[in-house]
Structure 1
């Protein structure tokens, strides 16, 4: 067993123990173990898949939480919904690894988890824009992510993300928001 694999497995065991005992995180770091409970869904999965899921959670848990907090208008609710989406992704991780892009599946699960708790503003946008266009606006303008980072989280390239964002802006500029704003500052 390689040193990095052994290290990852030890980290996962430590995190699972920490979650069960209510500790803050390995080494006292409150953020390092935040997504640890999602690993419970990976029992019986090979070590490489566990490593891949742990890396996915490290890379995207904060993005998921910030996005969910933005679309629900409540950071605590967003955190709960994002964690639920990550847990569901963990349950489907073997399938996700066989898919074209695990990020795309994770994003679909996150969007589904937040669907019924979205703010009225986000729901209004959903009536006029495609779901990915709404997500592009939220990720770029509310969460503040670059096209590369946001696109990666959604499972699309930076170029596709920029197209989604530009299409959304073009469509949103034509909407009547009832705000009597000049079109130049409507978005």
Structure 2
């Protein structure tokens, strides 16, 4: 759960003890950051809109809702310090998603079957669509892509899995 600190920055309710500061975006120093009013408002709106999806995604990847909560809180906390810079990017949502998925991947460690078999963006497209249950439009918004880009990633992932399945099963044709 994010708590609004008196400085009006979002602060996680728990420490980010297992997240490397370079990935989380600045560690505990982020709570001291005072964002300008417009930046703070956009950051809070972003968190309000994306936090539930980030939690569902992290829970699916990590297999532990409590760990997912900890990761999401730490990433969003770190993002508060980096938010003014993220707003300068063409897609702040893409910047945040990249930061978030890197932290989740480090936390997962090793190779999960889907993320080991496909490029990360394709694996994420499948996860968001079929495991998290988002529409292509909402998934595109979360990842900071155009809906057409997200749909293309989804189709290429499905095509790659289908091609792989064909070779795995090696069904001869007559």
**Normalising TM by the smaller chain, what interval?**
0.7 to 0.9
Please tell me whether residue 171 in structure 1 is matched to residue 166 in structure 2: no
Any conservation in 2 of the 1:103–1:153 contact (CA below 8 Å)?
Answer: yes
How far is 1:113 from its partner?
1.1
When residues 42 and 67 of structure 1 are mapped into structure 2, their CA distance, relative to the original with a 3 A threshold, is farther
1:63 aligned to 39, 53, 62, which one? 53
Q: Deviations over 1:99-142 (max 9, x none)?
A: 1111011001111111133387x722223311111100000000
Deviates more, 1:105-114 or 1:75-84: 75-84
Partner deviation per Cα, 1:137-187 (whole Å, 9 max, x = no partner): 00000000001111101000111111111100110112249986x9xxxxx
TM-score by length of 2: 0.76
Q: Tell me the equivalent position of 1:89.
A: 79
Specify which of 26, 31, 37 is matched with residue 11 of structure 2: 37
Aligned residues: 151
- With a CA cutoff of 8 Å and minimum separation of 6, indicate the structure with the bigger relative contact order: 2
User: CA–CA distance in 2 between the matches of 1:106 and 1:71?
Assistant: 17
Counterpart check, 1:126 vs 2:123? no
Match of 2:133 among 144, 155, 161: 144
Where structure 2 has 5 or more consecutive residues not aligned to the other structure, the ranges are 13-29
Which is richer in helix? 1
RMSD: 2.8
- Equivalent-residue separation in structure 2 for 1:115 and 1:147 (angstroms): 22
Q: Of residues 148, 158, 161 in structure 1, which corresponds to 2:147?
A: 158
Contact 1:82-1:113 at 8 Å conserved across structures: no
- 1:80 is the counterpart of 2:54: no
Match of 2:112, SS? helix
Q: Secondary structure at the match of 2:90?
A: coil
Which of 110, 117, 123 is 2:100 aligned to?
Answer: 110
Match of 2:4 in 1: 15
TM-score, normalization by structure 1: 0.71
